[in-house]
Structure 1
Amino acid sequence: MALPVVDTEYVKEVDKARRDLRALIASRNCAPIMLRLAYLLSLSLFVSVEIARNENEGKWSGPNGSIRSEEEYSHGSNSGLKKAIDWCEEVKSKRPKITYADLYQLAGVVAVEVTGGPTIDFVPGRKDSIVSPKEGRLPDAKQGAPHLRDIFYRMGLSDKDIVALSGGHTLGRAHPERSGFDGPWTMEPLKFDNSYFVELLKGESEGLLQLPTDKALLDDPKFGHYVELYAKDEDAFFRDYAESHKKLSELGFAPRSPGSKVIVKDGTILAQSAVGVAVAAAVVILSYFYEVRRKMK
């Protein structure tokens, strides 16, 4: 499918969809599953070049809205996400102009923000597709640091990104019927903060979950550095998380032009540009009159 035209009207639809999502997520307390929806769509994007060639896929699917197809939401790793897809459809029905790909990623951004997390820059313009990725591309929660690096490095993400994005576990809980694991990672699973890292450093606590991939963050010195930093400095976590989340949500996606990125700021940058032009013009005019007066003397 073609890329959407990210014009003023499209940006207005994104802003309206953002407000709709805030209301929906607040009323249904569904931030965790909305964040999971956005995460899994991005994480299913990349495979190694060798696998891509062997599968003869031709191109990667990416966070393109294809999860709305039964083929994809029926994947075992996507268990439970049909509920989030249906809730997003309530917004889509009111804002048909916005693509599913943008809507699902926007839902993840809003989920973080409405639960107290950082503001994440969102650039629209993702195209939709009905081509689903093959199953089995997501991280295995039963494995350790080498596996995490294998998955995330091939996406161009760093150790810092891996740890910061793991902090998303501060929202929600694991469900045995979906993952085989049970329980929340933090005492307040509907609040986005740095408590995931605080709890991780405490060690295992009754009623709280720590997956092998969580514990791997402590076992690895490079990962452990960021765990300790984020546990004591929530501002640092929020700053890095916002950056890493944006990178994850834009895997396989690039705005068509610089103008696409400018428009998303609700006209702020455009206004700033206009002011800049006006200032430049004023400088030129004043310089002209100065030269005229100087010559007349």
Structure 2
Amino acid sequence: MSAFRSVSRTVARTPLRSIKQSQAVAVRAFASRSQHGYQKQIPSKNAVNPGVLGALAAGALAGWYFYSSPSDQQATGDSWRKVDFNKVYKDIAGLLEDEDYDDGSYGPVFVRLAWHASGTFDTKTKTGGSNGATIRFHPEANHGANAGLDVARKRLEPLKKKYPNISYGDLYTLAGVVAVQELGGPTVRWRPGRSDDKSDQDCTPDGRLPDAAQGADHVRDIFYRMGFNDQEIAALVGAHALGRCHSSRSGFEGPWNASPTTFTNYFYTELLEDKWVPKKWNGPFQYVDKQSGQFMMLPADIAFKTDSQFRKHVEKYAADQDAFFADFSKAFAKLLELGVKFPADAPVYEFKTLE
């Protein structure tokens, strides 16, 4: 890991966009993982159990957002059977790169959309989750934690028109899978069968997503409600290797590391090996790395370093990226299926990356 780590240190003061390609090459050389056949499907009896991901920039500011699709585009029942999901995967992958957006990729915000569409599930009331795609309706789209996700929904909307039989729930969660895989992460098993709600009556109440300003107790309260344990929570927060916070959305500002468009175990290595100090600014309390001041951690992130039960998993994933990939893949697949009752014959896909 030391050689890989040196790459990160070397580029720490280099503009993020200029290092994206070299970082991606280094990551691909470092990370060894198996690739699965592009059209491989697994019988539903082997499907992932229904059942995450730490707050990818939990928001404080939000705008009103609402999709009103024609009734003939509402995916319900068996309409998913008419969709070629291999083609949808390729089309989503084609939407990822855009040099005019953030660090050149919509991948991180697609992951955040998939997570926020799914992470509202409550094991006690059996409400929330990605089925119904209520995140596209006011008031859920207007929840503080969902600020900025209209960007991702708008980016994906042309594919909903191109594939009218795909549900928004399937589209949003599949976009998260595509982003993880195409940005260098592990293969994530995924299956279709979510339907669309036609009104906002099933929108979840605000407060079901993590507050990035809180600590370990709050993190556990949120994720235990969904049915996750400490190991799964620690694996999911590793997705903070991707993307950045925006002061115009969450109030927080900055990327977590030098390669925000490449899926790595950098969140853990940076969290443990950097010295994090309070940022001196007029925004909400957050941390920056003392060495360069370019990278940030949220208060909820630091909890994974200071809490002994979380930390043992962080140390494992910092030392072994393959172990992180394996555990993240399982936990993320579980997240995307929270609260969904799939048809008995729904296939499970393992998509091969395009590269």
TM-score after normalising by structure 1: 0.80
CA, structure 1 residues 220+265, in 2 after alignment: closer, same or farther (shift >3 Å)? closer
Identify the match of residue 228 of structure 1 among 312, 315, 320.
Answer: 315
Identify the match of residue 260 of structure 1 among 341, 346, 349.
Answer: 346
- In structure 1, runs of 5+ residues without a counterpart are 53-58, 267-297
Partner of 2:129: 62
What is the alpha-carbon distance in structure 1 between the residues aligned to residue 155 and residue 138 of structure 2?
16
What is the CA distance between 1:100 and its match in structure 2?
A: 0.4
Q: 1:253 is paired with a residue of what secondary structure?
A: coil
Higher relative contact order (CA 8 A, sep 6+): 2
Partner of 1:41: 117
Is the CA contact 1:6–1:260 (under 8 Å) kept in the aligned structure 2?
no
> How large is the Cα RMSD of the aligned pairs?
1.9
What is the alpha-carbon distance in structure 2 between the residues aligned to residue 260 and residue 17 of structure 1?
16
What is the CA distance between 1:7 and its match in structure 2?
A: 6.6
Is the CA contact 2:80–2:193 (under 8 Å) kept in the aligned structure 1?
no
What is the CA distance between 1:3 and its match in structure 2?
A: 4.8
What is the CA distance between 1:6 and its match in structure 2?
A: 6.7
Aligned: 1:185 with 2:256: yes
Is the CA contact 1:26–1:114 (under 8 Å) kept in the aligned structure 2?
no
Residue identity over aligned pairs, in percent, reads 42
Partner of 2:78: 5
What is the CA distance between 1:73 and its match in structure 2?
A: 1.8
Q: 2:347 is paired with a residue of what secondary structure?
A: helix
Which letter does structure 2 place at the counterpart of 1:122?
A: W
CA, structure 1 residues 95+149, in 2 after alignment: closer, same or farther (shift >3 Å)? same
Partner of 1:213: 300
Is the CA contact 1:197–1:231 (under 8 Å) kept in the aligned structure 2?
yes
Partner of 2:168: 100
- Structure 2 counterparts to residues 120-139 of structure 1, below 5 A: 120-129=188-197, 130=199, 131-139=202-210
- Structure 2 counterparts to residues 228-247 of structure 1, below 5 A: 228-247=315-334
Q: 2:269 is paired with a residue of what secondary structure?
A: helix
Which letter does structure 2 place at the counterpart of 1:5?
A: D
Between 1:37-46 and 1:69-78, the stretch displaced more is 69-78
Q: 1:133 is paired with a residue of what secondary structure?
A: coil
1:47-67, CA deviations, whole angstroms, 9 ceiling, x for partnerless residues? Answer: x74xx5xxxxxx613213122
Partner of 1:85: 153
CA, structure 1 residues 7+126, in 2 after alignment: closer, same or farther (shift >3 Å)? closer
1:7-26, CA deviations, whole angstroms, 9 ceiling, x for partnerless residues? Answer: 7533x2x2211111000113
Partner of 2:18: none
Partner of 1:17: 88
What is the alpha-carbon distance in structure 2 between the residues aligned to residue 115 and residue 220 of structure 1?
29
Partner of 1:175: 246
Is the CA contact 1:170–1:189 (under 8 Å) kept in the aligned structure 2?
yes
TM-score after normalising by structure 2: 0.67
What is the alpha-carbon distance in structure 2 between the residues aligned to residue 181 and residue 7 of structure 1?
38
What is the CA distance between 1:2 and its match in structure 2?
A: 8.0
- Structure showing the higher helix proportion among its residues: 1
What is the alpha-carbon distance in structure 2 between the residues aligned to residue 103 and residue 61 of structure 1?
17
Partner of 1:162: 233
Name which one, 1 or 2, has greater alpha-carbon Rg.
1
Is the CA contact 1:193–1:234 (under 8 Å) kept in the aligned structure 2?
yes
Which letter does structure 1 place at the counterpart of 2:117?
A: L
